[in-house]
């Protein structure tokens, strides 16, 4: 619900899912006490009230809390929703809660995410046996070819034909600039994906600890669909809402092969393209951990021959 960065039509998909999940969780929400961590405009709190929550505490640290208060009033839900301006680490609630809801996910899941605040709220305010929506997050990786980057790098070889100036030496420099850049958030096209995705980490929101968040890692193995150059890896996430009222859980996926969300995908470029053929195994390990400057660092080792180690700082 970020106004200036997110296209409103993209929030719909996300909100729709939350809306549906609360409807499908009516058994978990009806008559229950809910805490909305980082409530923003208050829309999730209102969804919970619609789904029958007895009381919703909408905690929001930023000035948008005032808008949430107005919206709650316009919708005649002041008796059920209490907007509290402050951080969840500092506010004082009058009671513990049955359910925690939050839209906490950042780029590449953990970049500028509010997950630590959700875990703090869980450990302080969630009743034993209480639930968290969404309840699970998963991280995926897949090799990709970014043809735009290759075109841009190839450009330097074409300058001679256009202007009679040999600028081919710029190509290597430009590639280094791209490799050394901070994490790139961009829309990966499904047709540039070169294998089935590999899941490398799963976070159970009910049990994961802040300490575990400091080093989220996992191994992966993919097999390429066919002959191509690999010049990057794409990292994306899903979050899952269990739906006891329904047959299947609801999954919000930021896969490049699903409708685009404002999270897009994180792209980690290789030092040099690697040629693969059909069924070439691509294995490696991903680790995501905070850098010393309150940032997150992703390192990818591609094995068996260690072809690249990418350092991406998520500040």
- Using the rule CB under 8 A, which residue among 94, 128, 129, 164 binds a second copy? 164
Would residue 141 be called left, alpha or beta, if left means φ above 0 and alpha means ψ between -120 and 50 degrees?
beta
Sign for the pseudo-dihedral over CA of 77, 80, 82, 83: negative
Least CB distance to a second copy at residue 213 (A): 30
Query: 240: which 2 tokens?
Result: 């899952």
Which residues, 127 to 156, sit near a second copy by CB under 8 A?
A: 148, 151-152, 155-156
Nearest Cα to 53, choosing from 44, 66, 61, 65? 44
Binding to a second copy by residue 163, rule CB under 8 A?
yes
Helix (H) or strand (E) holding 121: helix 115-125
CA dist 74 and 52 (Å) reads 18
Binding to a second copy by residue 79, rule CB under 8 A?
no
Q: Indicate which residue of 112, 212, 292, 293 is catalytic.
A: 112
> Which is closer to a second copy, CB of 156 or CB of 220?
156
What phi, psi does 106 have (nearest 5°)?
-110, -175
What phi, psi does 48 have (nearest 5°)?
-65, -40
Binding to a second copy by residue 30, rule CB under 8 A?
no
> Which is closer to a second copy, CB of 18 or CB of 104?
18
Give the range of 71-79, 229-237, 266-274, 296-304 binding a second copy by CB under 8 A.
71-79
Which stretches of the chain bind a second copy, using CB under 8 A?
A: 3-4, 7-9, 12, 15-16, 19, 41, 43, 46-47, 50, 64, 67, 70-71, 74-75, 148, 151-152, 155-156, 159, 162-170, 173-174, 177-178, 181
């Amino acid at each position: 619900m970020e106004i200036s960065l997110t296209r409103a039509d993209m929030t719909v998909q996300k909100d729709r899912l939350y809306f549906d999940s609360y409807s499908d969780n009516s058994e978990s929400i009806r008559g229950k006490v809910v805490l909305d961590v980082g409530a923003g405009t208050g829309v999730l709190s209102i969804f919970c009230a619609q789904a029958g929550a007895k009381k919703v505490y909408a905690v929001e640290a930023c000035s948008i809390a005032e808008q949430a208060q107005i919206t709650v009033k316009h919708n005649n839900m002041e008796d059920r929703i209490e907007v509290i301006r402050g951080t969840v680490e500092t506010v004082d609630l009058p009671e513990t809660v049955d359910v925690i809801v939050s839209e906490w996910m950042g780029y590449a899941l953990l970049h500028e995410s509010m997950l630590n605040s959700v875990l703090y709220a869980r450990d302080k305010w969630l009743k034993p046996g209480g639930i968290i929506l969404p309840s699970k997050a998963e991280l995926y990786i897949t090799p990709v070819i970014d043809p735009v980057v290759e075109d841009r790098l190839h450009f330097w070889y074409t300058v001679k034909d256009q202007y009679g100036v040999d600028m081919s030496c710029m190509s290597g420099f430009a590639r280094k600039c791209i490799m050394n850049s901070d994490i790139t958030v961009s829309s990966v096209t499904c047709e540039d994906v070169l294998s089935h995705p590999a899941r490398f980490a799963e976070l159970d929101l009910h049990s994961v600890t802040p300490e575990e968040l400091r080093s989220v890692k996992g191994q992966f193995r993919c097999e390429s669909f066919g002959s191509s150059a690999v010049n990057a890896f794409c990292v994306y996430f899903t979050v899952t809402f269990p739906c006891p009222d329904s047959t299947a859980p609801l999954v919000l996926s930021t896969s490049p092969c699903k409708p685009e969300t404002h999270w897009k995908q994180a792209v980690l470029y290789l030092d040099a393209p690697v040629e693969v053929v059909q069924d070439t195994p691509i294995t490696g390990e991903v680790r995501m951990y905070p850098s010393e400057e309150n940032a997150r660092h992703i390192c990818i080792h591609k094995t068996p021959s260690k072809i690249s180690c990418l350092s991406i700082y998520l500040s």
